[in-house]
Structure 1
Amino acid sequence: MPSRYDDLSREQLAVLVPELLLIGQLIDRSGMAWCISAFGREEMAQIAIEEWAASSPIYTRRMQRALGYAPAPGEGDVVTIFKGLQLDIGAPPQFMDFRYTVHDRWHGEFHLDHCGALMDVEPMGPDYVRAMCHDIEDPTFDATAVATNPHAQVRPLHRPPRVPADRQPHCAWTVRIDPAHPPVAAIAQCEVIARTHAAGLDLDPIDPADDGLADYAGPLLADLDFTRFSRSALVRIADEVCVQMHLLNLAFTLAVRARAGEDAELLRTITTRQLVGIAGVAAARLHRALDLPDVMAGALRVLELHPLLNPAAYVDASFAAGELRVRESAATRDGAWITRCGPSSIAPLQAIVRAVDPHLDVEVAGTDEEWVARLVVREQPAPVADEVAVTRFSTGADFAFEPRRSLPISPV
């Protein structure tokens, strides 16, 4: 099925891709607030570990294959790991400003000149900083590296809590690959996520004849200049980034379900509130970045481009005449985000359209599997949903990207 991003220009896609990467990072700013409320800080940290460790090895390998830099068995090196981080929702460009050093194929370092996640968590106190930068980062960095080489180890040189309080860079890490290192294995939850439709989703291949880069098989670049990629490559990257978000969300749902037990209502409440928060913030960023109109047509276009409803190969939806029509699909069979929308759950759709204009609303009819949402205009503007307001506390909600030069990194 053709991508819903296929009618965007190359220039628009180069704007869209970093936006999607940042949106993926902000999913946790929405979801973890409700996990803390329900389960406490320590269980929240365990949920974060499980969701990232269960999803990142899968989507990292997907992007390696899509962009032609997948290593042969046993040949995955630090350059491959660093390329993967540049295309990972866990490390969106500039907001998580990774700077890389390559010593040789098996030894490298990175540091963060700016960590947006730290800026969000630091005001909450050192316990929350330690939970993110120690408890969560240690297993999840290794889980990401295992997608490239199970003998890779990512270890800190220094990391927050920052001493002194304004220490720069925010953190620094080594990456070493050595056959003598005990191999890292994927966690059991990763095997569950690997069996989802999202994990094995087939997307259209990149057209090598299209103008611009069709892969990332060349040297590691300090910053990815997305304008250098072909339109076809950017479409595939955008769809892959949406798959990353779905896989992360499926792993999040799996982790929350393990804590909610028999309380199905608690599971549904937490996962729906997570979606409402990220849906509204994502819609606002897409609307602003692509300069879409502040009218009903603009809201429908935001819906069409929103990660909730992408890729088209995963979520079966159509958009016309002020209506969104959703049908049963691989996403509904996975229990993905779209299952948190429908006649009995309109808040995520309301958050999206109200990010364009607070006077907009939706009326939804049908069943939980197949439904139609019609956009309507209300006389009075709606207030911002609590879930969206919580997510907006992140500095990522209003983060602005800047132009960067794309320079190759040579071993030092």
Structure 2
Amino acid sequence: MGASPIYTPRMRRALDFDGDDVETIFKGMQLDIGAPPQFMDFRYRVTDAKHGEFELAHCGALMDVEPMGLPFVTAMCHDIEDPTFDATAAASNPRARMRPVHRPPRAPADRMPHCLWTVTIDDEADPLPFPEQALRIADSRAATIEMARGIEGDGRTDYRGPLESDLRFEAFSTWTLISLLNEIALQGHLLTLSFNDSITRRFGAAVAHDIAVKRFIGIAGVAAGRVSKTLGHDASIEDVLRFHPAFHPSSYIDVRIGGGKISLHDCPAIGDAGSGIAWADLLADGETEPFAAIVRAVDPRARCTPVEPAAGARRTWAVTMASEAADEVPAVLLTKVSTGADFEFEER
């Protein structure tokens, strides 16, 4: 609730579509980091400008929590989704509401689709207030960072026009795809700020810092493995670091790679957003394990150690090779519990 009201309007601007109808809400959901295509297989139906529905033909998040038991399913599909879905809708229209027709726990146990929701815009309804969490994140530098934009003729540059059931990202121009990837990476930073802000307010700074470090290690290592696999067997550690979403957009977080070294430079991400903890803050404080998890995901023999900062850098780490493979750390192993860690996208 703290991040989606910020990044949804950003994505609308990036792809030059606007409005406050159901179709606009669904377009925003298609471009939400919380709804990766296929893994969270949303299927949308627009009835008219004020009515529609969506179902999840496959919910990867449900596949993760269902084996853990009913309390986990209820926590995710009720306690989390009720306010989150309304906040997502309200980012496009504060008078929009999302309500379940059915949702997990599934009865029968193999019920399909996994859930079904209606979306209604009621002009007589009281507008939902802007979430308090989002007000805090709106003050962050991440919320207002400007992205480089470019226009070229090798594909689409906007998402104007009707909703597309399966949005074909390859139809967009190179510069538009770069803008999209930067915005999606920024969504990850905004979610991190919001999550860490919430943990700090509930449990205090010490607990929040400990969780933030472990979360960064787990996500960094698993994402590096996916990036490495996508780039292919010839991908180097430096290649994976350069494409890793944690270090984009470069206008927000300035991590430079070269000559077997990784350097963090001063950037807007350091010291961002009050009680939130940015990933760059952890690196600026000298945390090494997120980088170590990344290099191990590419080559288990790789090690990452802090060294004297390079010229102009806040921190620098060196990547070296050991003779033996290192064991995976618990944070990465825990993150791999998710079916998303090995999920493979299909052409369709």
TM-score range, shorter chain: over 0.9
Alpha-carbon offset, residue 342 of structure 1: 5.1
Matched, 1:331 2:269: yes
Aligned to 1:13: none
Where does 1:143-182 land on structure 2 (aligned, <5 Å)? 143-182=87-126
Greater helix percent: which structure? Answer: 1
Alpha-carbon offset, residue 265 of structure 1: 3.0
Determine the C-alpha separation between the residues in 2 that align with 1:125 and 1:206: 48
Over 3 Å counting, the alpha-carbon distance change for 1:366 and 1:78 in structure 2 is farther
Where does 1:11-410 land on structure 2 (aligned, <5 Å)? 53-71=1-19, 76-207=20-151, 209-261=152-204, 264-291=205-232, 293=234, 298-334=236-272, 335-341=277-283, 344-366=286-308, 370-404=314-348
Alpha-carbon offset, residue 224 of structure 1: 1.3
- The runs of 5 or more residues in structure 2 that have no matched partner are none
Determine the C-alpha separation between the residues in 1 that align with 2:316 and 2:153: 36
State the AA in 2 paired with 1:211: D
Determine the C-alpha separation between the residues in 2 that align with 1:394 and 1:133: 16
Q: Once the two structures are superposed, what CA deviation does each residue of 1:295-326 show, in whole Å capped at 9, x if it has no partner?
A: xxx11111111122110100122221111111
- The runs of 5 or more residues in structure 1 that have no matched partner are 1-52, 405-412
Q: Once the two structures are superposed, what CA deviation does each residue of 1:98-157 show, in whole Å capped at 9, x if it has no partner?
A: 011111111100000000000000011111101110111010001011110000000000
Determine the C-alpha separation between the residues in 2 that align with 1:67 and 1:382: 43
Q: Once the two structures are superposed, what CA deviation does each residue of 1:201-235 show, in whole Å capped at 9, x if it has no partner?
A: 1001241x331010101211111111101101000
Determine the C-alpha separation between the residues in 1 that align with 2:134 and 2:238: 35
Aligned to 1:20: none
Contact 2:286 2:315 survives alignment (8 Å): no
So what's the TM-score if we normalise by structure 2?
A: 0.95
Determine the C-alpha separation between the residues in 1 that align with 2:287 and 2:331: 14
Percent identical pairs in the alignment equals: 48
Runs of 4+ in 1 over 4 A off after TM superposition: none
Over 3 Å counting, the alpha-carbon distance change for 1:312 and 1:251 in structure 2 is same
Determine the C-alpha separation between the residues in 1 that align with 2:160 and 2:307: 47
Contact 1:57 1:146 survives alignment (8 Å): yes
Q: Which has the higher contact order (CA 8 A, sep 6+)?
A: 1
Determine the C-alpha separation between the residues in 2 that align with 1:152 and 1:66: 23
Contact 1:343 1:364 survives alignment (8 Å): no
Alpha-carbon offset, residue 350 of structure 1: 0.5
Determine the C-alpha separation between the residues in 1 that align with 2:99 and 2:11: 24
Over 3 Å counting, the alpha-carbon distance change for 1:307 and 1:332 in structure 2 is same
Determine the C-alpha separation between the residues in 2 that align with 1:323 and 1:293: 19
Determine the C-alpha separation between the residues in 2 that align with 1:302 and 1:278: 14
Determine the C-alpha separation between the residues in 2 that align with 1:319 and 1:344: 17
Contact 1:343 1:365 survives alignment (8 Å): no
Over 3 Å counting, the alpha-carbon distance change for 1:182 and 1:343 in structure 2 is closer
Alpha-carbon offset, residue 366 of structure 1: 4.8
State the AA in 2 paired with 1:300: E
Determine the C-alpha separation between the residues in 2 that align with 1:270 and 1:343: 15
Q: Once the two structures are superposed, what CA deviation does each residue of 1:267-286 show, in whole Å capped at 9, x if it has no partner?
A: 21110000000000000001
Alpha-carbon offset, residue 266 of structure 1: 2.1
